[in-house]
């Protein structure tokens, strides 16, 4: 009993730390707390500063940027004139959005699970809450699926993914990132989540995913991306690139640093559309080049009419400052 609760708590913690959707959601929840406890325009300004900083620090987090854009847009168009009104507007928008994200994820996972047969071996990479939801659906259906997971250096999220899959009752094989090609033929399908999806259907995910995609293509194993449509980055329609944070390998031995060895550990990378067989969102299973179709459904038009987050933030800030000075 106690162990089960502990496991669930641990799981929640891992989701917060490791999954793209979960990481973005936890930032939005923190923002919501800041908004709900706002007593003045100063408090609200601090809250949107927090949100904008989070977006600037994680420009690759499509969900975070998309949600932030919606919130700022909602605030600007509401014409809220009092702190109370503004708090209500932003707060209810965020709550609705968090629910929507949850529903979209569930729906996408459900569609993906339908496509997977009962005895499949699914190769996945890194930690993805959305992919876990696919497995939850499969397990609930009584499917005896198995999983192969890579450890995902440098942070080892794959180990946590393996743990989470095991606690769902899925049989898991854990391998080093270098063993992808050696094990790909044992898989019937590759299923991955997404950090972001670009205009042409290229999918940005944890580093190592491109290797997995290349190996899958060579072995003729199909690769599916499962993601809510909120991971599409509308800026990419206008040529903007989705960057990847570049870090150093944190646990490199000191003596190597001393003799001038450098290290380099990009966190994300893009998988070109040619390596993706299908993208599954809450709006259905499509071919990656058909992303504009999903965009039209999601943003109401194609090309999408979206404003840059920088402009919205500046405008919202100006408006709040004006309200602050002229009560």
Nearer CB in complex with other proteins: 217/317: 217
* For other proteins, the closer CB: 163 or 308: 163
Residues facing residue 205 across a β-bridge: 269
Residue 164: CB partners within 8 Å, gap ≥ 6?
11, 14, 127, 132
CB of 156 to other proteins, least distance (A): 9
> Which of 139, 174, 319, 324 is in the footprint of other proteins by CB under 8 A?
174
What is the torsional sign of CA 277, 280, 286, 291? negative
Q: Which residue, 169 or 303, is less far from other proteins as judged by CB? A: 169
The secondary structure element, H or E, covering residue 281 is strand 278-281
Q: Which of 261, 296, 301, 321 binds other proteins (CB under 8 A)?
A: 261
For residue 255, state whether it binds other proteins (rule: CB under 8 A): yes
C-beta closer to other proteins: residue 15 or 155: 155
Q: Counting contacts by CB under 8 A, is residue 153 touching other proteins?
A: yes
Cβ contacts of 138 within 8 Å, gap of 6 or more: 113, 116, 118, 145, 170
Edge-to-edge strand ranges of the sheet holding 203-206: 196-197, 203-206, 268-271
Smaller CB separation from other proteins, 70 or 160: 160
Residue 178 in contact with other proteins, rule: CB under 8 A: yes
Q: Residue from 181, 185, 283, 317 that binds other proteins (CB under 8 A)?
A: 181
Count of residues in contact with other proteins, rule CB under 8 A: 45
Q: Figure out which of the listed residues 30, 43, 102, 269 binds other proteins, where binding follows CB under 8 A.
A: 269
Q: Which of residues 17-76 bind other proteins (CB under 8 A)?
A: none
With contacts defined by CB under 8 A, name the span among 69-77, 127-135, 160-168, 317-325 that binds other proteins: 160-168
Helical packing angle, 157-168 and 129-141, nearest 10°? 20
The residue within the footprint of other proteins, chosen from 22, 70, 151, 277 (CB under 8 A), is 151
Examine residue 176 and tell whether it contacts other proteins (CB under 8 A). yes
Residue 211 in contact with other proteins, rule: CB under 8 A: yes
Q: Does an H or E element contain 122, and which?
A: strand 121-124
242-249 long-range Cβ contacts below 8 angstroms, 24+ apart: 242/59, 242/60, 242/62, 242/196, 242/198, 242/204, 242/268, 242/270, 243/59, 243/60, 244/60, 244/204, 244/207, 244/268, 244/269, 245/58, 245/60, 247/154, 249/154
In whole angstroms, give the CA distance from residue 59 to residue 320: 24
3-state secondary structure of 94: helix
* Binding flag, residue 159, other proteins (CB under 8 A): yes
Among 263, 287, 301, 318, the residue binding other proteins under the rule CB under 8 A is 263
Question: Which residues of this chain interact with other proteins, rule CB under 8 A?
Answer: 150-154, 159, 162-163, 166, 171-183, 206-208, 210-211, 214-215, 218, 244, 249, 252-253, 255-256, 259-266, 269
């Amino acid at each position: 009993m106690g162990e089960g609760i502990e496991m669930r708590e641990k799981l929640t913690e891992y989701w917060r730390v490791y999954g793209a959707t979960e990481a973005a959601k936890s930032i939005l929840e923190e923002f919501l707390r800041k908004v709900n406890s706002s007593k003045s325009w100063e408090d609200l300004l601090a809250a949107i500063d927090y949100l904008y900083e989070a977006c600037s620090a994680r420009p690759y987090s499509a969900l975070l940027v998309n949600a932030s854009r919606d919130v700022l847009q909602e605030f600007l168009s509401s014409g809220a004139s009092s702190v109370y009104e503004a708090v209500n507007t932003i707060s209810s928008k965020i709550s609705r959005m968090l629910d929507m994200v949850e529903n979209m994820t569930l729906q996408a996972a459900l569609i993906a699970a339908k496509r997977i047969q009962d005895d499949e071996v699914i190769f996945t990479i890194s930690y993805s809450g959305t992919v876990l939801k696919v497995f939850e659906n499969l397990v609930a259906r009584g499917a005896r699926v198995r999983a192969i997971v890579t450890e995902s250096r440098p942070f080892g999220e794959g180990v946590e993914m393996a743990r989470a899959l095991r606690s769902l009752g899925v049989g898991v094989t854990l391998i080093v990132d270098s063993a992808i090609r050696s094990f790909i033929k044992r898989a019937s399908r590759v299923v991955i989540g997404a950090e972001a999806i670009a205009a042409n259907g290229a999918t940005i995910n944890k580093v190592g995913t491109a290797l997995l995609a290349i190996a899958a293509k060579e072995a003729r194993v199909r690769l599916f991306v499962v993601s809510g449509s909120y991971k599409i980055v509308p800026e990419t329609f206008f040529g903007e690139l989705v960057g990847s944070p570049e870090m150093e390998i944190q646990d490199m031995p000191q003596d190597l640093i001393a003799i001038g060895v450098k290290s380099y550990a990009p966190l994300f990378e893009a998988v070109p559309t040619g390596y993706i067989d299908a993208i599954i969102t809450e709006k259905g299973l499509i071919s990656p080049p058909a992303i504009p179709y999903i965009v039209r459904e999601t943003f109401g038009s194609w090309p999408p009419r979206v404003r840059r987050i920088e402009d919205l933030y500046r405008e919202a800030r100006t408006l709040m400052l004006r309200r602050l000075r002229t009560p």
